[in-house]
A and B are shown apart, each in its own frame.
Chain A
Amino acid sequence: MRNVLRAAFALLVWGWAGIAAAQGGGAGGGITTGDAALDPIFTAFVQGRGTERREALDTLAASGREDVRDLLEGILDGDLMLHEDSDTIVRVIKRGRRFETARLDGSEAFGTLGRRDVDRLKLDNRLRGHLRGLIAGLGLTSEVVGERLAAVDALLDDPTGIERQRLEELRGSETDPAVLRALDGVRARQLIASADPDERREGIDALAADLSPGSRRAIAAIAGSEGDEYAAETRELAGIAMGRQRALVQRYEIAETLFFGLSLGSVLVLAAIGLAITFGVMGVINMAHGELIMLGAYTAWAMQQLLPQSITAALLLSIPVAFLVTALVGIAIERSVIRFLYGRPLETLLATFGISLILQQLVRTAVSPRNVPVANPPFMQGTLEINAVLSLTMNRLWILGFCLVVFTLLLVLLKRSRFGLEVRAVSQNRQMARAMGVRSARIDSLTFGLGAGVAGLAGVALSQITNVGPNLGQAYIVDSFMVVVFGGVGNLWGTLIGGMTLGIANKIMEPWAGAILAKILVLVFLILFIQRRPRGLFPQRGRAAS
């Protein structure tokens, strides 16, 4: 069926081209291409004049052939040439000063020829522009979203390249939201150029509603234009729209900073919250906390090595596994070292620092001193685009959510469970808790294990956004301590608010101070803050505080 159609079409074109050739009074034979369907088109294009040539190109573009884009681009770029002796269209590849020729179907043609044997297909600027429009038009109906988008984007610069009617058709049939948005942009630009003031207003409104850099530039260009290219009213409208856009963009940029801050804050909270438990509830300084985070991240890596075919499953599994692994390591540390050092916080600090060195070196020796790769599962890749200004990266969004979930679970555990009750009892008054029958030594072990396990969870989260290496923990230990001390020891809410505040403060300062200076300023602020409130934002009250 298709062949029949194609043959009929070819006949039709041939017939028409024949008439055209006759009208042009062309003497001699037509152009050959090796493809009967193409011969009349190229004959008309090479031998015809003025509109004939343009119509020949239109015919080619409308032919529906698979290689039509290739041919049009070949004509435009000069890859297709005319072999003078045989009047044959050949595809050439330039080899130095000579041309290697091939037939359009790719088979061997005349070998390698000199410059005099082949002619470029003549084009003037108008034809070139027309060709470009045709090529862009081809992209508009492409099956591939990316090609359609590129074609429409090209139209944004020159909205006159497409007729209103055709544009409306495309808008009706388009399904991809990004392409549709771009089509709307083209339509808005066409409306602005319209003679009807209502349409112009509609165009400005449509353009103002879109915050993409292109639209903003276009609006700004109209508002700032001089002369009579645009009506005075249009310029005025554009000026108002520009102000509105600026305000909106500013608002979204603040939202973006806030998101980055919350994202950094969630990382800080995750890293610090385990410390808040061990430091706050037990008064133990665990300098190996950073290394427990690192172990969690390495667990995520190890799970991916074990389940290389399913990264998503590996990551989800590594959450409980990392918790268990680091919790067990934590309990082992508590049982073997920290238990002997209760009441001597400075000594605990030194001993756990020793442990952190051992754990670091253990990873260096057992795995590798270099970073290990941890892959992102598909659901954590990409971005969530709210609009052209604000887009949120998926992995940071997930980690923010993960942080809040972990925080809530910990809060529930400590406030609502029997274990939490005992933990709080021991932290508030060890003697009294023991007198009431709480086994304080066991609670100590479990609390430390819990803090360590949460560090492991933080490690899994961090493995998704930073490099996993033996030094991962060191990078977070100072920050974690700062968060705990800032928020107030022994207070989970303090840690959450402290971490988020520091994260946001960091990101607010970053644009004008730079990343490192922002960090320094935050540290200096913290040092000064502790002078004012030595017990943090939310100090512990009552007997335990003394």
Chain B
Amino acid sequence: MNASVTAGMVAPQLAGRRATLIFCTTLIIVTLGVAIGATLPAAHPMHVGTFTVTLLGKYLSYAILALSVDLVWGYLGILSLGHAAFFALGGYAMGMYLMRQIGARGVYGNPDLPDFMVFLDWTELPWYWWGFDDFRFTALMILLVPGLLAYVFGALAFRSRVNGVYLSIITQAMTYALLLAFYRNEMGFGGNNGLTDFRELLGFDLRSDATRIGLFVASAVALLLSYLLCVAILRSRLGRVAVAIRDAEDRTRFIGYPVDRVKVTIFTASAMIAGLAGALYVPQVGIINPGEFAPLNSIEAVVWVAIGGRGTLYGAVIGAIGVNVAKSWFTGAYPEAWLFALGLLFVIVTLLLPKGIVGGLSGLRGLRRKPRSRPS
């Protein structure tokens, strides 16, 4: 048990002041650099193309998702294989707002209904689409819908003491059920095709360069805020109990901490952050469809965290961006080899670098954490 106790003390240290300062400074400098580079004339050697800016914006939204996964996996010990569901729900909320912004400019020119509803011969807007014309309402839903699902799901699961592998499997079942549900046309979310053909966000043309740079900066700001939120949670009493639960759940419970309540709170907060990530992702890629619920997506997010280093917030960000840069490069250069590379990465990281790249570096300082679970 000695090792676990050490680990419990290590985690807040890794989310410590110095790391936070370095991370925030780097993020701000890189963001400003890219934003300035994007506004330079195309001939300039330091110019950053719009395509790259959007790509980077996408990576940043993935980084936010990775943060949310790390919050529950790295600090609470819950391996969620369903975080893509929260991401996709946030994305759908944003997508619904963007659909409403199209107005009468769709193919069918119907001012009251999105194209796919006209196509399906629907006559009126379903009640759950009400309010999505308003951005403030949408912003609220982006956080509330994933948060509510996570709260209900977590409250049920944690109260029944479903944990470990069982929890992982039912989170996977949850995202799989949502995947199937969103494929149904009757659900009113565009079925197989999802929501697309977006035009404007808050009156800004989504196809213009300025909007794209703006979205990139917004993603960076969101990442910064999410990061600071995570740091704040982890520094608080709540975060410390969470780490205690990760390392010795039964002991924490017996001492008298409300384990279930802590778990639900952090799980819900994490889902809201994932929803925010999804909402930033959708306007940048221009589409949201049920494929985002696929169990593979959730697992990929977990892998970013595993590779970057779980239990360190900046490790999760590094993992998300690093893996996705590699993915973009591989799918361009060797499309066949990407799944080989990703698969090998899974195996190598779990075998050789159980605490990821960041953990591997800290390992040099002798802070490596021993496995928590007992052999069966």
Contact = CB atoms under 8 A, between A and B. Distances in A.
A357 B343 contact: yes
A362 B344 CA distance: 12
Interface stretch (B175-183, B208-216, B226-234, B318-326): B175-183
Given A344-B373, A350-B303, A355-B347, A530 B180 contact: no
A531 B165 contact: no
A365 B336 contact: yes
Given A285-B165, A530-B162, A530-B166, A519 B340 contact: no
A349 B165 contact: yes
B165 A520 contact: no
Interface in B316-370: 336, 339-340, 342-347, 349-351, 354
Given A282-B376, A516-B184, A531-B157, 12 more contacts: A344-B371, A344-B373, A346-B168, A353-B299, A430-B375, A485-B166, A485-B169, A517-B184, A523-B180, A531-B162, A534-B161, A544-B376
B346 A351 contact: yes
B164 A345 contact: yes
A337 B376 contact: no
Nearest to A470: B339
Interface of A is mostly: helix
Interface in A390-416: none
Given A346-B79, A354-B345, A534 B162 contact: yes
A482 interface: yes
B306 interface: yes
B182 to A, nearest CB: 10
Most buried by A among B156, B161, B339, B351: B339
A469 to B, nearest CB: 15
A285 B350 CA distance: 14
Which 3 A-B residue pairings sit nearest by Cβ, starting from the closest? A354-B346, A358-B343, A357-B343
B172 interface: yes
Interface in A508-525: 516-517, 519-520, 523-524
A241 B153 CA distance: 53
B173 A523 contact: yes
Nearest to A333: B347
B168 A349 contact: yes
Interface string A209-221: 0000000000000
Interface of B is mostly: helix
B375 A350 contact: no
A345 B373 contact: yes
A361 interface: yes
Interface in B288-307: 295-296, 299, 302-303, 306
B123 interface: no
Interface of B: 79, 153, 156-157, 159-162, 164-166, 168-170, 172-174, 176-177, 180-181, 183-184, 295-296, 299, 302-303, 306, 336, 339-340, 342-347, 349-351, 354, 371, 373-376
Contact of B347 (A337, A364, A519, A524): A337
B174 A527 contact: yes
B343 A481 contact: no
Interface of A: 282-283, 285, 337, 340-351, 353-358, 360-362, 364-365, 427, 430, 474, 478, 481-482, 485, 516-517, 519-520, 523-524, 526-528, 530-532, 534, 544
A364 B343 CA distance: 14
Contact of B340 (A343, A361, A427): A361
Nearest to B173: A523
Contact of B177 (A357, A364, A523): A523
B351 A341 contact: yes
Contacts of B303: 350, 353-354
Contacts of B174: 523, 527
Nearest to A356: B343
Nearest to A360: B339
Nearest to A517: B184
B375 A337 contact: no
Contact of A346 (B157, B165, B181, B351): B165
Contacts of A350: 299, 302-303, 306, 346, 349-350
A527 B177 CA distance: 10
Contacts of B374: 343
B129 to A, nearest CB: 21
Contacts of A364: 336, 339
A520 B175 CA distance: 10
Contacts, number: 133
A344 B350 CA distance: 10
A201 B161 CA distance: 67
Contacts of B339: 357-358, 360-361, 364
Contact of A355 (B162, B166, B180, B343): B343
Contacts of A351: 346-347, 350-351
B180 A349 contact: no
A341 B157 contact: no
A280 to B, nearest CB: 11
Given A349-B79, A354-B346, A520-B180, A481 B169 contact: yes
Contacts of B302: 350
A519 B179 CA distance: 11
B342 A357 contact: yes
Contact of A482 (B173, B342, B350): B173
A291 to B, nearest CB: 10
Contacts of B345: 354
Contacts of B164: 345-346
Contacts of B336: 361, 364-365
Nearest to A534: B162
Contacts of B176: 478, 523
Contacts of A534: 160-162, 166
A474 B297 CA distance: 13
A343 B162 contact: no
Nearest to B372: A344
A354 B344 contact: yes
Nearest to B162: A534
Contacts of A346: 79, 164-165, 168
Contact of A347 (B162, B172, B350, B375): B350
5 contacts: A285-B168, A358-B347, A520-B177, A526-B170, A534-B160
B162 to A, nearest CB: 5
Contact of A524 (B157, B177, B299): B177
B373 A343 contact: yes
Contacts of A523: 173-174, 176-177, 180
Contacts of B375: 342-343, 430
B350 A520 contact: no
A162 B186 CA distance: 53
A527 B170 contact: yes
A351 B346 CA distance: 5
Given A341-B351, A478-B172, A485-B169, A353 B346 contact: yes
A481 B175 CA distance: 14
A94 B10 CA distance: 94
A54 to B, nearest CB: 57
Contacts of A357: 339-340, 342-343, 346
Nearest to B347: A354
B173 A478 contact: yes
Nearest to B178: A520
Q: Which of B157, B160, B376 has the most CB of A within 10 A?
A: B376
A360 B347 CA distance: 15
A334 B79 CA distance: 22
Most buried by B among A343, A345, A530: A530
Contact of B180 (A345, A354, A519, A528): A519
B332 to A, nearest CB: 17
A98 to B, nearest CB: 50
Given A478-B295, A481-B172, A337 B351 contact: yes
B156 A528 contact: yes
A24 B306 CA distance: 104
B250 to A, nearest CB: 11
Contacts of B169: 481-482, 485
B347 A430 contact: no
Contacts of A365: 336
